[in-house]
Amino acid sequence: MSINTRQYSNIDIAKLIAAFLVMMVHCPVLESFGQTAELFFVSTLPRLGVPFFFACSGYFFFNKLTYENGKIKRNKSNLNVLLKYMKRIVLLYAVWSLIYLIWSLPKWYLTGWLSPFAFVDYAIGAFMKGSHYHLWYILNLIYGILFGYIILSLFKKNTVLILCIALYILNILTYSYDWIDISFIGYINAFSGKIGELWNSATRAFPLMFFAYSYSSCDKSKSKKLNLALAFVSSIGLVTEILLLHNFSDNEKMYSYIIFTVPLQLALFSLLLNSKQINISTDKATLFRNVSTFFYCVHPIILEALDFPVYREANSIIKYLIAAAIVFCVSVFMVKLSKKKRLRFIKVMF
């Protein structure tokens, strides 16, 4: 069964769960139980949400391409796959960037920031770091897919895999492990700060996408016992690594992309991919997939709209459950609304 006809209900359901996990990072679910509990929880399970999204994007995009001698074939078919994907993802980013621009205008006015310079700054930020704090992910997808397509057109997969390992090591040395005294890291951080998400897309987004594609394409990834063992060992490794980073470094809260993120990401994604798929209808699987995207994109608006005294003073778990329920209901409503003939334009939002 081809990648276009096979059902991936496990992945579709997991993407929705991952969207809820990402929201936990932005809506501190254990804040009422102390900073240590919140830091540790947010640094583990919820931080796997975005790497999982990268794994999905990498696997499904690079699997649609045809290869020759380990490189992407330079033909019209592959170019059409790239252009179709870029059209969808760029439009998604542009629409949500416009929505968040409009959403920000009242705040700009009240704080005295509203000016021509504010719009220029927003436009530059949209290209360099993401138009809103969570939209960096979509911007990374845009740059990461383009970077990966070019690299895989020039070099064989095995060479690209080695390059990705080197790039990811460079990423953790300039992120979670930048406290290590390595002379050239300071220069790299200064350079990466100037190019923003272009750097992260090359050293983080693309490697995470390509690792998932490479591992899920090999025969070993189909072994359930191997992946269960890898997930178990990686989970212990991830928790241990976070504890060590927390106790012996001053790089607090920057634990999203560390050493054990990769094997755990690969094991979980492969288990979902190769296990028996949950038996749900194609329409329901599509609904989960679309809702997860809308949920991810819209949740900061809901969180900011809920910023009033009664909500702020509530228990952090209650706050999260209220916000998550509202975001989920809004997302389902909008996705279903887009099925109406006159409202199909809503589909550009997911």
Residue 305 lies in a domain: yes
Residue 302 lies in a domain: yes
pLDDT at 349: 98
Query: How many angstroms separate the CA atoms of 239 and 232, rounded?
Result: 11
Q: Give the tens place of pLDDT for each residue, 288-302.
A: 999 999 999 999 999
Residue 103 lies in a domain: no
What range does the domain containing 23 cover?
Answer: 18-42+280-350
**Strand runs labelled E in the chain:** 67-68, 71-72
Q: Give the tens place of pLDDT for each residue, 105-148.
A: 999 999 999 999 999 999 999 999 999 999 999 999 999 999 99
Secondary structure letter of residue 114 according to DSSP = -
pLDDT at 1: 46
Residue 36 lies in a domain: yes
Closest CA to 161 of 87, 62, 300, 260: 62
Q: Which residues contact 165 (CB under 8 A, 6 or more apart)?
A: 207
End-to-end alpha-carbon separation of the chain, Å? 26
pLDDT at 4: 54
Query: How many angstroms separate the CA atoms of 114 and 110, rounded?
Result: 8
Q: Give the tens place of pLDDT for each residue, 24-46.
A: 999 989 988 887 788 778 878 88
Torsion of CA 143, 148, 150, 153, to 10 degrees: -160
* pTM for this model (two decimals): 0.94
Residue 154 lies in a domain: no
Query: How many angstroms separate the CA atoms of 63 and 306, rounded?
Result: 41
DSSP 9-77: HHHHHHHHHHHHHHHHHHTTTTGGG-HHHHHHHHTSSGGGHHHHHHHHHHHHHHHTS-EETTEE--SHH
Residue 219 lies in a domain: no
Give me the numbers of helices (H) and strands (E) for the chain, helices first please.
15, 2
Residue 312 lies in a domain: yes
Tokens 């930020």 locate to: 125
Q: How many domains does the chain have?
A: 1
Q: Are 54 and 260 in contact (CB under 8 A)?
A: no
**pLDDT profile of the chain (350 residues), mean per 10:** 72 97 92 82 86 97 97 97 98 98 97 96 96 97 98 98 97 90 87 92 98 92 94 95 86 80 96 95 96 98 94 94 98 97 96
Residue 231 lies in a domain: no
